[in-house]
Structure 1
Amino acid sequence: MKIPKKYALSIIIIFVVIVVLGGIFVSKSTISFKEAALGQVNLKEIDTIEIIKSNDNSANEKKITVSNAKEIHQIIEELSKVQLKKSDSSAPSSDLYWITIRSKQERSVGLTIFGEKSLAVYKYNTSVPKSNDILYEIISGYNGKLIENLFK
């Protein structure tokens, strides 16, 4: 049994439309780290990044403050590669990083990185309280080695 050409063409067109709409939907559901966390922050004004590393044993917390402009740029560049998707819950992890990005000596953005799976963004000085704290699933681009190496 042969399928008439007009039916075959209709099926192909419907399939292409579904694929295109699916691609648009998926691309809209992800967001870059810059959009999620650094939207209102002037990157040239970032003067310090404070990082606290914690693991299962809270007695082993370590804290560093990065104020070298080259290292700050390196950290921001590494984080800027991350693609995120809004989430309702964080993935459990034994390694946590609390990061505070300061601009002009004032806290601009706070981050909590849950291993390599989740990221919470807290925006200080936001006029809309509900948008202060947003949880994201890390989709791609996160490499924790740079931050880990800062503690060595």
Structure 2
Amino acid sequence: MPSYLTHAMEGRARLRHPVLAATVALDKALAVLNGADGVLEARPGSGSILLILAPDADLERICGTLEKALPELRQPARSSAAVPVSGLFSLVSGFSHGKACRQGLSPRKLEARALLAVCGLSIVLGFAGSKSSHVLAGTAFGLLAARHVWTRRKAL
């Protein structure tokens, strides 16, 4: 499967690439995809396209047709588009606010799972009676939670 195919499940697929952020390329891609066999609908997004597919759609053939129209899609997306996070948190976790995914998870989901894991660890250590480990895990959770609130303060 091509690198710009970020998500695929029965009846749906998401295509994401920096080339699709350009209006001309997006319009061209939508014209090709709306005429392709197996594509019921192609919905534009911000640098992406959501495909609504027929049950018998051949996604590899659809992507091949799209690559013929837009050969730039064959080039992998640059990872430099992500905005690096500075400070201690980037050294500990490596999270970024860009579009890059690790192990198939977006940075936001990875951050939420890390928060839940550290919270759970703190609770387990508290019940286990390991006071110093419980305090250390609680402090880590507090720092992660404070960073989470700080980065999303405008949404509050």
User: Normalised by the size of structure 1, how large is the TM-score?
Assistant: 0.20
Structure with the larger strand share? 1
Structure with the larger helix share? 2
